[in-house]
């Protein structure tokens, strides 16, 4: 319960119309794309860094929990206000990006969606590669806080490879700037890198300086169907082992393909789908596509189809981006995991997931950024079915152990949030977790910034 004097101060900072306390509004900010929920006491919608700073300063003085929020598309419960208090929504911080073409960077407010930024820079002949499948809704602030990946990780890396600098409000309400607008900067500790992927637990990002690239002249899509996911995942290792670096290489198993077909009402074709994209000059695209074709035909006897006949590459990527909404129509609860292994271990990981599914009688659809070794095995279940949920829980724990066994990570791009908290020690160990908790305590001495996430401090 927030004190009336506290609320008055917050209203005085952002205006009463930007402090939402009615139940309907609080419910709208109580969840993300997982099934976790927790009601905030109030939702605040600042417009400027100064307002964010004053909100956080007041919250620090009164020890009120603060949870930063972008669009709420997160897949680990990160923006769910686990301990109540304030949700600070960045939805009004959406000014057009400042684009510096000669210096190849842009300065962006955190509430701008990824797709909007991409369109803004592309209209100037520039390119912002990170491309989460949720790009039409998710925000740059949320992308930085989660270190979002997406469909182009294989060639272009993830959000962390593009953040040159940040402006942020610390848990005590101070405004600091990290990094620089230059290609190089080694002045002091790399606070920027620490903040990327910190899931809103170390401060609120109020401005992001992002590195840009020249827009590639051409793109070409290719796709190939397989009878089973094992062969498709072997093909991924073969393609990459050959020296080919597609900008994207995505896998969708047969359950996923059928779900997307039903969702879009379009035929994609039977079997497991491997969908790739190459980019660069037209000559490079042609050469790379021929190379992929040769490998896939020679070793697997599979015909590779490409977009030469004038198929819009976006139509195929739309199918890939529709996977999650499509799967949610198959069962009341979809638990989407994010295991990532070294690419050469992909076939073994897929095999282990198959065995785990059989052992616990769970339905799992597999899709993901295969070129990054990043799979999203999605448990199709019903949270009301207690017996099944128990089996799903055991199966997930086993899958996490399998992934660590293979030298992988429990989360490639969705973060820890609430969802992966039980497994974080498995990867980081006791001492590794303790170091991170010390960092957290030193920056957030009262523990007000997105509490109840990443590490269990209770
Ligand atoms: C259909 C679908 C497809 C997806 N595909 C991908 C994908 O391909 N790749 C991928 O990586 N992810 C994907 N995601 C997950 C999600 O979209 C990303 O994690 C995204 O970065 C979250 O952005 P958001 O604005 O929705 O953040 P939110 O969900 O609102 O918040 C996410 C986290 O960031 C923190 N945060 C938000 N804004 C700020 C800020 N300004 N300062 C500090 N902390 C902040 C929050 O506290 C929270 O911990 C997908 C999700 C969906 C629903």
What digits encode the pLDDT tens for the residues 184-201?
A: 899 999 999 999 999 999
pLDDT value at 437 more than 60: yes
Q: Which two tokens stand for residue 458?
A: 């209770």
Among 55, 81, 138, 338, the mutation site with the greatest number of ligand 1 atoms within 8 A of its Cβ is 138
| Contact status, residue 277 vs residue 248, Cβ threshold 8 Å | yes
**Any ligand 1 atom below 6 A from CB of 205:** yes
* Residue located via tokens 């070794």: 373
What digits encode the pLDDT tens for the residues 329-367?
A: 999 999 999 999 999 999 999 999 999 999 999 999 999
Q: With cut-offs at 50, 70 and 90, classify the pLDDT of residue 309.
A: low
pLDDT of residue 304: 80
What digits encode the pLDDT tens for the residues 34-61?
A: 999 999 999 999 999 999 999 999 999 9
pLDDT value at 317 more than 90: no
Backbone angles phi, psi at 385, to 5 degrees: -90, 95
**Any ligand 1 atom below 6 A from CB of 145:** yes
Can you state the angle between helices 254-264 and 313-321, rounded to 10 degrees?
110
Residue 291 CA from chain centroid, whole number: 31
**Can you tell me whether residue 257 is helix, strand or coil?**
helix
* Residue located via tokens 């993830």: 158
Q: Which of 2, 56, 69, 59 is nearest to 29 (CA)?
A: 69
Distance, in Å, from the CA atom of 293 to the CA atom of 297, rounded to the nearest integer, reads 6
- What is the separation, in whole angstroms, between the first and last Cα of the chain? 20
Reading phi first (left if > 0) and then psi (alpha if -120 to 50, else beta), residue 372 is in alpha
pLDDT value at 386 more than 80: yes
**pTM confidence score:** 0.96
Ligand 1 center to 22 CA (angstroms)? 25
Burial 127-161 (b: 16+ CB within 10 A, else e): bbbbbbbbbeebbbbbbbbbbbbbbbbbbbebbbe
Nearest protein Cα to ligand 1, atom 19: 74
* Residue located via tokens 């990981």: 349
pLDDT value at 268 more than 80: no
């Amino acid at each position: 319960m927030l004190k009336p004097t506290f609320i008055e101060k917050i209203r005085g900072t952002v205006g009463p119309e930007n402090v939402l306390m009615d139940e309907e509004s609080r419910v709208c900010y109580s969840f993300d794309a997982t099934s976790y929920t927790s009601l905030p006491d109030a939702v605040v919608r600042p417009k400027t860094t100064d307002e964010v700073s004053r909100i956080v300063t007041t919250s620090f003085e009164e020890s009120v929990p603060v949870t930063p929020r972008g669009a709420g598309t997160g897949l680990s419960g990160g923006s769910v206000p686990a301990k109540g208090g304030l949700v600070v929504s960045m939805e009004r911080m959406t000014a057009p990006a400042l684009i510096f073409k000669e210096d190849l960077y842009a300065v962006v407010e955190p509430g701008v969606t990824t797709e909007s930024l991409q369109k803004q820079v592309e209209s100037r002949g520039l390119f912002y590669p990170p491309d989460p499948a949720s790009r039409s809704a998710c925000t740059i602030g949320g992308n930085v806080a989660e270190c979002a990946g997406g469909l182009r990780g294989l060639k272009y890396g993830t959000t962390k490879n593009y953040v040159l600098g940040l402006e942020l409000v610390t848990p005590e309400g101070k405004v600091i700037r990290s990094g620089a607008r230059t290609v190089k900067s080694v002045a002091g500790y790399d606070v920027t890198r620490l903040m990327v992927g910190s899931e809103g637990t170390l401060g609120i990002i109020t401005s992001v300086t992002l590195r840009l690239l020249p827009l590639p002249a051409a793109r070409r899509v290719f796709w190939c169907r397989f009878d089973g996911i094992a062969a498709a995942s072997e093909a991924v290792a073969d393609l990459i082992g050959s020296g080919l670096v597609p900008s994207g290489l995505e896998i969708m198993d047969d359950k996923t393909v059928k779900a997307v077909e039903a969702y879009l009402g379009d035929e994609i074709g039977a079997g497991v789908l491997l969908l790739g994209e190459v980019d660069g000059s037209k000559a490079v695209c042609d050469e790379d596509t021929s190379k992929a074709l040769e490998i896939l035909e020679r070793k697997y006897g599979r015909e590779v189809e490409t977009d030469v006949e004038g198929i819009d590459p976006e139509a195929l990527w739309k199918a890939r981006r529709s996977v999650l909404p499509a799967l949610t129509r198959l069962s009341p609860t979809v638990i989407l995991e994010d295991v990532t292994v070294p690419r050469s271990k992909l076939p073994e990981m897929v095999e282990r997931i198959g065995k785990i599914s059989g052992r616990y009688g769970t339905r799992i659809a597999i899709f993901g950024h295969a070129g990054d070794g990043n799979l999203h095995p999605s448990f199709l279940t019903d949270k009301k079915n207690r017996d099944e949920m128990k089996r799903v829980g055991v199966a997930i724990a086993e899958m996490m152990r399998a992934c660590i066994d293979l030298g992988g990570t429990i989360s490639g791009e969705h973060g820890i949030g609430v969802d992966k908290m039980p497994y974080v020690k498995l990867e980081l160990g006791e001492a590794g977790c303790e170091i991170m908790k010390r960092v957290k305590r030193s920056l957030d001495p009262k523990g007000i910034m997105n509490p109840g996430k990443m590490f269990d401090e209770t």
